[in-house]
Structure 1
């Protein structure tokens, strides 16, 4: 916990984990959420960087990495040290964010000692190391009672004229046990030759894992005696972790991550930036490579902000129907702007469409009186009419401009408190993403589907290889009208339901041998 009375600057040397944002520690997230500035290294994944921005939109992000295999992207250690010292003079909370665990070949000692000598306060926040996490995501245990009771971790870095000079071969059993090599791709041929020279069995299995724990993870398995020849054919790149030993054989049974139905699928996310955060997080947990294309953002309908005819007469309504998270959020912001809070709803019954809407109401200590089984306005009215005669009730429906046409209720008041602003242009990188193959396009509303079709026409995007995954019957109907088909409909109509339905779809396709990644 940060002491609010602390006036001295503190640099938090923080481990970001190996790439999967789900592996970052709670303490690291706490620091990132309050940091004034984050200095991140080259091994911090894009997914982690996006998490940082979501946690702390105002934070200043500064690249401070060393890249041995790409000098153009590399800062010298003395430059990084000086940068940290300068930042400590200007900011109170500085996060030095490093991939994996900073104490495992992360130059923790060098930076921490330097900062101490400069009389700068530091704290160290460990991270999940790639040494243990990456093998686990590849389905490879580092030890097993039947074949390996120990493992040795080697950083395969050294002087340019003799990159293997720093490896103390005499300090470990090169003929047995598990070897884990970090930073060893460029030096692997020399390491293999040395191990064979020391008597390691040429039939020993070896695994090379690229971008471990991310949706771009790939694992290449071969034998020690063959690997140098195989490297000529395989495009093995850093950052890769290398495992040598009999434990690699267990991957055939334990490969859990790369066999997920959605693993490495490029999934287009069209929701607003704010609303996509939880969905993207769930996609990443499923092994997906999310491609963010926020087509929509939501804004206040300013002319309704001080609509006294409604605000001062809320007590006249017997029901309020909330059909989206946004409706709840903007409604309570209007209350706050007019010096009201949830007490203004005393005696009024509340209906909520969808789990997310119910959760949003909970933030204001409101528990809805009714939630329909199906998540649409039409189903809300239909199901509620079966329980209560609401035809003559005074009902308020705070909603979005141009919302879906509503069933007629005599005394229903539609209040357009916010509007959607749709994107009309695409970043060139997103156009390239389509050219490289988007496997799933997710759409959450009819309006978003309509605007997406305009983007498709404007940029002549190829939809032939993409599957449409939607939430809600109305959205599905619109997608069929616009694109002639819909492939996946969420069941139930939630984020989790959509992901489950996507998994089910691709699992069935895989069982038929369709669209299987080799």
Structure 2
């Protein structure tokens, strides 16, 4: 059991991909996770199920827990023998009050460590295409906060003194005082025409950047309705954005997409969408639970050497089957000379991950096409086949194989369960803001979405999403329950689904 300790951990600017390996490791080990408003909710998925998660959300004008109570909480949980992770947006020692917390921990004899994170200024500049330094225009960088301790009787930042040539100024938490800051920098000697930028929600799919001059930035920010959290960058380096801006050229930037895959597989689709710039809302409508009938399991594994074909109808089935196989035999050679068929390329990839060759993969990932491909071998008469599936698998594949005079055993290895979403943060965000699109990758997800319609009902100001399907079977179910199919993937793959989404949204913008 790990020794009690408190870790002050930087969570980076927002994009989970920018979290350090050390931070991820510690989140997975934490007994207690204390996290802020700007921490991406996706990081919470790395916690163990029994981890105590404490939200102390701190944003302008609202603190869920005062600073002294946060510090007391860290000390209390340490003294209770817990491994505590204090997760803070950006870097804990760059305007994150990490110094205050570390000092309290040291004074109270608490064992602690500091884990740096990517600070907001670095991320905002990189994702906006603004180099903070440049040999020709900026040889120094100033990091300064525009939001000082409100209990101070005097302002300690001398803004006029920061008006230094060949310098980039990065202003944290300065949105509430931007007109004053702009005026003071100009009075200090900066040219009113100095390029300036404001980067909101840096590194996320909702990132927006406003570029103006130092004199006109307050008006431009107001006109564009940019609000906190945002980073203000002042300096000639802002001019390079015209040439090297890259992130905001992504096709799905500014789009919010709801993903309805199960918890175990949502990450694969989410990562593809985020790579295109989308902000992803995870709606885990389903969970996959390994489950077998003990008698059926004994019969199948007892007769494994007598089967000619093993047929997998999903990647979930592959994962659960091989977990069982290795647990029983610890040797892939126990499969003998079995030939292997997979319903589609995603399922085939899961099989190949075990260094096994897949003999049949139909062009379209449907049970009908898989049955056609197997029947086309002309070798099914009296052939013994085991079909690895889940509890909701359709009968069409097995019926077709039986009609071809094969001897077919069904082997369900997992159970698909509906997940209650009424209190889920993704569902709450969906209700409040809606989305540009919602994607369905299975019929069971469609049915669960309909069953939980009340928990997912958009509010009066929420955006109504278009609905996309991964393939014809899912589309058929959507139409059957009265749901429109606004677009369908040309192939039943995640990449094709994302491509179809980009094409559809592009056509709506045209």
Q: TM (normalized to structure 1)?
A: 0.84
Q: Is the 8 A contact 1:440 1:469 kept in 2?
A: yes
Q: Is the 8 A contact 1:36 1:91 kept in 2?
A: no
- Answering whether residue 31 of structure 2 is matched by residue 36 of structure 1, we say yes
The corresponding residue for 1:449 is 446
Q: Tell me, in whole angstroms, the C-alpha distance in 2 between the residues paired with 1:424 and 1:82.
A: 34
Q: Is the 8 A contact 1:147 1:246 kept in 2?
A: yes
- Answering whether residue 48 of structure 2 is matched by residue 56 of structure 1, we say yes
Other structure's SS at 2:84 match? strand
The corresponding residue for 1:295 is 285
Q: Tell me, in whole angstroms, the C-alpha distance in 1 between the residues paired with 2:39 and 2:457.
A: 35
The corresponding residue for 1:515 is none
Q: Is the 8 A contact 1:9 1:92 kept in 2?
A: yes
Query: Aligned in 2, Cα 1:437/1:97: closer, same or farther, shift over 3 Å?
Result: closer
- Answering whether residue 498 of structure 2 is matched by residue 499 of structure 1, we say yes
How big is the shift at 1:262?
1.2
Alignment gaps of 5+ in structure 1: 513-518
Q: Is the 8 A contact 1:300 1:419 kept in 2?
A: yes
How big is the shift at 1:133?
0.6
Other structure's SS at 1:187 match? helix
Q: Is the 8 A contact 2:32 2:51 kept in 1?
A: yes
Q: Is the 8 A contact 2:200 2:230 kept in 1?
A: yes
Pairing 1:60-71 to 2, within 5 Å after superposition? 60-64=52-56, 66-67=58-59, 69-71=60-62
Pairing 1:212-291 to 2, within 5 Å after superposition? 212-230=202-220, 233=223, 235-291=225-281
Query: Aligned in 2, Cα 1:487/1:162: closer, same or farther, shift over 3 Å?
Result: same
How big is the shift at 1:498?
1.9
Q: Is the 8 A contact 1:398 1:416 kept in 2?
A: yes
Query: Aligned in 2, Cα 1:40/1:163: closer, same or farther, shift over 3 Å?
Result: farther
The corresponding residue for 1:125 is 115
How big is the shift at 1:468?
2.8
Query: Aligned in 2, Cα 1:63/1:165: closer, same or farther, shift over 3 Å?
Result: same
The corresponding residue for 2:16 is 21
Q: 2:416 aligned to 414, 420, 427, which one? A: 420
How big is the shift at 1:395?
0.4
How big is the shift at 1:375?
2.2
Q: Is the 8 A contact 2:163 2:185 kept in 1?
A: no
How big is the shift at 1:373?
3.8
Q: Tell me, in whole angstroms, the C-alpha distance in 2 between the residues paired with 1:87 and 1:458.
A: 34
How big is the shift at 1:29?
1.0
The corresponding residue for 1:107 is 97
How big is the shift at 1:465?
5.2
Q: Is the 8 A contact 2:297 2:411 kept in 1?
A: no
Query: Aligned in 2, Cα 1:104/1:117: closer, same or farther, shift over 3 Å?
Result: same
Q: Tell me, in whole angstroms, the C-alpha distance in 1 between the residues paired with 2:374 and 2:388.
A: 18
How big is the shift at 1:494?
2.4
The corresponding residue for 2:194 is 204
Q: Point out the more displaced range, 148-157 or 221-230.
A: 221-230
Q: Is the 8 A contact 2:433 2:458 kept in 1?
A: no
1:263-313 CA distances to partner (integer Å, 9 max, x unpaired)?
122212222222213322332333222223333334456545655433422
Pairing 1:53-452 to 2, within 5 Å after superposition? 53-64=45-56, 66-67=58-59, 69-76=60-67, 78-160=68-150, 165-169=155-159, 172-174=162-164, 176-230=166-220, 233=223, 235-299=225-289, 303=293, 307-332=297-322, 342-361=332-351, 366-386=356-376, 389-404=379-394, 405-406=396-397, 407-408=400-401, 409-411=404-406, 412-422=408-418, 430=427, 433=430, 436-452=433-449
Q: Is the 8 A contact 1:17 1:129 kept in 2?
A: yes
How big is the shift at 1:125?
1.7
Q: Tell me, in whole angstroms, the C-alpha distance in 2 between the residues paired with 1:25 and 1:495.
A: 27
Query: Aligned in 2, Cα 1:81/1:389: closer, same or farther, shift over 3 Å?
Result: same
Q: Point out the more displaced range, 298-307 or 495-504.
A: 298-307
Q: Is the 8 A contact 1:88 1:94 kept in 2?
A: yes
Query: Aligned in 2, Cα 1:63/1:192: closer, same or farther, shift over 3 Å?
Result: same
Q: Tell me, in whole angstroms, the C-alpha distance in 2 between the residues paired with 1:142 and 1:468.
A: 41
Query: Aligned in 2, Cα 1:289/1:369: closer, same or farther, shift over 3 Å?
Result: same
How big is the shift at 1:457?
9.8
Query: Aligned in 2, Cα 1:396/1:91: closer, same or farther, shift over 3 Å?
Result: same
Query: Aligned in 2, Cα 1:194/1:100: closer, same or farther, shift over 3 Å?
Result: same
Q: Tell me, in whole angstroms, the C-alpha distance in 1 between the residues paired with 2:130 and 2:472.
A: 43
How big is the shift at 1:435?
7.4
Q: Tell me, in whole angstroms, the C-alpha distance in 2 between the residues paired with 1:440 and 1:337.
A: 41
Alignment gaps of 5+ in structure 2: none
Q: Tell me, in whole angstroms, the C-alpha distance in 1 between the residues paired with 2:457 and 2:3.
A: 56
1:305-326 CA distances to partner (integer Å, 9 max, x unpaired)?
6554334222221111011122
Q: Is the 8 A contact 1:156 1:164 kept in 2?
A: no
Q: Tell me, in whole angstroms, the C-alpha distance in 2 between the residues paired with 1:452 and 1:218.
A: 31
Question: What value does the CA root-mean-square deviation take over the aligned residues?
Answer: 3.5
Q: Tell me, in whole angstroms, the C-alpha distance in 1 between the residues paired with 2:443 and 2:151.
A: 62
Q: TM (normalized to structure 2)?
A: 0.85
1:355-396 CA distances to partner (integer Å, 9 max, x unpaired)?
443444466665544434432233333334445623431101
